[in-house]
A and B are shown apart, each in its own frame.
Chain A
Amino acid sequence: MPSSLKYFLTRLSGSLVTMLVGTIVVFLVMKAAPGDPALIVLGDYATDETVAAFNRKHGLDAPLMAQYLDWLGGLVRFDFGQSLSVSAGENIGDLLLYRLPNTIFVGVYAILIAVTLSLVLGTLAALNRGTTVDTSATSLAVLGVSMPDFWFGYMLILGLSIGLGWFPSYGFTPPSDSLAGAFYSGFLPALAIAAPMAAVFTRTLRTALIENLDREHVMVAKAMGHSGRFRFLHHVFRNSLIPYITVVGLQIRYLLGGVVIIERIFGINGVGSLMVEAAFARDFFVVQACAVVFLGIVLAVNYVVDLICAMLDPRRVR
């Protein structure tokens, strides 16, 4: 299929260009951020000589363009440089490699919860349009979008950890140590991130299902003698997947925003908490690296989602 191959390649090159622009933005924003890394690492009483030596050592005295290209050249080789202050001298790549699995685990966990909840609630609401079931599911969804995830996180701790004692209130067992432990200790943070997403997914699915239920081809399928189950699966649900998956893909960026906060609240050693720690310590290289990793994840997920949607919707590939 040459036309679809062409589509995939065009989208891929688009993503790469976005990535490149993203690195420039990340780099410039970090340069514009207040605070001199040398003074933060060396202290306020450092002499001009030691500051100059520090800047020379880390290439911070070079022209802006050269600094960017140097950094970009490293990125291409997955070399993110060294940490300045958070974990001084340590290779940032190693830091990320240690922390990324935790973040991905919690993120995927949250998506699974959100998708499961929304599939059930969205379908129930659409099939019982206008009834109490629909109103309850829709109200639950409104509640979900209205709650900030950090607040909901604390409420979960208050209720399920401190109140009922079912879950730990702090700390996370990495999946590499114990998968079951990771699922258990990661449940509350994942649920806190999942709640607002589940709400958006539910509403999207409900609207898409209702719209597709009224389509002419569903009636035609009924006139042909196809069962209600067949019509729902192959005509209504199947076609609703296209907007649904698109929205799931779009929510990934909010997911990452949520991860940053939730990791701090629940004490998860992830990329999000690393980024916050590094920002407080003015560890520019680490913050830049984390931002680029997040950017890469968002673009990769969006790319995959686009491919899935292209497969689901033949009208999209020409």
Chain B
Amino acid sequence: MTETLLEVNDLNVAFRLASANLTVSSDVSFSVDRGKVLGLIGESGSGKTVTSKAILRLLPKNASLEAKAIRFKGRDISTLTEAEFNRLRGTELAMIFQDPVGSFNPVKTIGWHFRTVGKLHRGAGAPRGEIMKEAKEVLAKADIADPENALRKYPHQMSGGMLQRCLIALVMFSKPSLIVADEPTTNLDNLVERQILDLFDKLRRETDASFIFITHDMTIAEMISDSVIVMYAGQIVEQGPTEALMRRPQHPYTQGLVRTARELEGEVETLTEISGEIGTGVHPENRCRFAPRCPLYEKACDHAIALRPVEGHGLVRCIKAGQGAANEVTP
């Protein structure tokens, strides 16, 4: 029996700039089930990071956020005051960032980070020995070989991979229900990336936490997530269970991504690329946003395209989806 943990309803994020208002997230709706992993996919500029930061209200001051509702554990959290919302951060909603080195205060030890987070969420009266004991346990769970030693270290004395483990441990330390991981392996080399992904895989099995896993790598999304959302230019273009989406992608953009991922696995000579570049954030209302790059573009695409369910798949934002235009992608 699956239970919905987070439900986002028509989320819109815009940035006020000197020149214009830039919409980076338009009418984004999705939900995350308890204990499940949602993969959020898209290239740079597609709005995936902004969308996830919006959930934790971590956007800069010049960003405006609107949503019909953001329901967490059945409660609408979009109407909470900042003080009320802050009580959810760390304990219920948490985030892991791209750059593990920059995520720690460089002049404080790893132990300091655990101690202050521990005090914050367990109360100032919590015995220090107890906090540090739990910190060591959670570090061990994150595959840190010598937790005692790691707690004494300063960030600059550790590698990126080790720091990402420490950061994951620090986030797990407060046992949040939903963890947003924003490309947590992008800054790491391949071997370490694989180890960190294995760690995520282990954690999702051992805890009942849900994850939103942001990545631009289809292969990673396939490996780690139960369902996938593909974003393009601030919109969801396709959304569905991972397996179906990977085997029979419906949207031309998703098809391009999947094909490239398959080609990478198959070690082909040349990669098929999706030609062109993602737009600037100002999009004509009466045209499919992917149209300028779409191989299937035709006159009928020149109006606002809605996200619609396609039989046997999830939701797709393409007029041709389900009409036989989408072919199975084979390696």
Structural contact, B107 and A222, CB atoms closer than 8 A: no
Structural contact, A225 and B103, CB atoms closer than 8 A: no
Q: Does A242 contact B (CB under 8 A)?
A: yes
Q: Does B104 contact A (CB under 8 A)?
A: yes
Once A219-B58, A220-B97, A220-B103 are accepted as A-B contacts, the answer to whether A225 and B116 lie under 8 Å apart by CB is no
Q: Main secondary structure on chain A at its contact with chain B?
A: helix
Chain B: minimal CB distance from A220 (Å): 5
Count residues on chain B whose CB falls below 8 Å from chain A CBs. Answer: 29
Q: Mark B149-182, 1 if CB is under 8 A from A, else 0.
A: 0000010100000000001001100100000000
Hey, which chain B residues are within 8 Å of A227, CB to CB? Answer: 86
Task: List B residues 60-91 near A (Cβ within 8 Å).
Answer: 86-91
B105's nearest neighbour on chain A, judged by CB, is: A217
Tell which of A225, A235, A314 touches B120, judged by Cβ atoms closer than 8 Å.
Answer: A225
Task: List A residues 218-270 near B (Cβ within 8 Å).
Answer: 219-227, 230, 234-235, 238-239, 242
Chain B: minimal CB distance from A130 (Å): 10
Tell which of A221, A222, A225, A235 touches B87, judged by Cβ atoms closer than 8 Å.
Answer: A225
Docked CA distance A224–B180 (Å): 12
Docked CA distance A314–B86 (Å): 31
Q: Does A312 contact B (CB under 8 A)?
A: yes
Hey, which chain A residues are within 8 Å of B156, CB to CB? Answer: 314-315
Once A225-B87, A225-B90 are accepted as A-B contacts, the answer to whether A219 and B97 lie under 8 Å apart by CB is yes
Tell which of B89, B106, B117 touches A239, judged by Cβ atoms closer than 8 Å.
Answer: B106
Chain A: minimal CB distance from B13 (Å): 16
Structural contact, B103 and A224, CB atoms closer than 8 A: no
Chain B: minimal CB distance from A292 (Å): 36
Task: List B residues 88-128 near A (Cβ within 8 Å).
Answer: 88-91, 94-95, 97, 99, 102-108, 116-117, 120-121
Docked CA distance A220–B170 (Å): 11
The 7 A-B residue pairs whose C-beta atoms are closest, nearest first, are: A225-B90, A216-B102, A225-B89, A223-B95, A224-B90, A220-B103, A314-B154
Residues of A at the B interface (CB closer than 8 Å) are 215-217, 219-227, 230, 234-235, 238-239, 242, 312-315
